[in-house]
Amino acid sequence: MPYHKDKQQAFQAAQQGTEQARDVYEAIVRNDPNYGHDFKRLENEVNEAMEQINNALEVASETQRPQLMQFQADLQRLMQQGDGNTLE
């Protein structure tokens, strides 16, 4: 039973990290003087969430794996969209 609990906890941490990164992304205001700082925060959140996803993938069940892969794809898309809006 502890193994199942570890899988669930790892999945929940990955899910929460992804949601936090989405929240940061949604809060970023384009063309704001603080955009660079806000984007750096987004990068940090995404990197942390990716680590949580990678950890979860190590112990994930077959039913969790596709959702974790979707989390990764979502985070990569957030970074690409955010990076495309930089003010340089």
Q: What is the CATH number of the domain that holds 74?
A: 1.20.58
User: Nearest CA to 53 among 19, 10, 23, 24?
Assistant: 10
Range of the domain at 46: 2-83
Which tops the pLDDT comparison, 81 or 45?
A: 45
Structural domain total, the chain? 1
Structure letter (DSSP) for residue 62: T
Domain-embedded: residue 88: no
pLDDT of residue 88: 36
Over the stretch 1-23, which tens digit does the pLDDT of each residue have? 455 679 999 999 999 999 999 99
Domain-embedded: residue 59: yes
pLDDT of residue 1: 41
Over the stretch 57-77, which tens digit does the pLDDT of each residue have? 999 999 999 999 999 999 999
Q: What is the largest CA-CA distance in the chain?
A: 52
Structure letter (DSSP) for residue 84: T
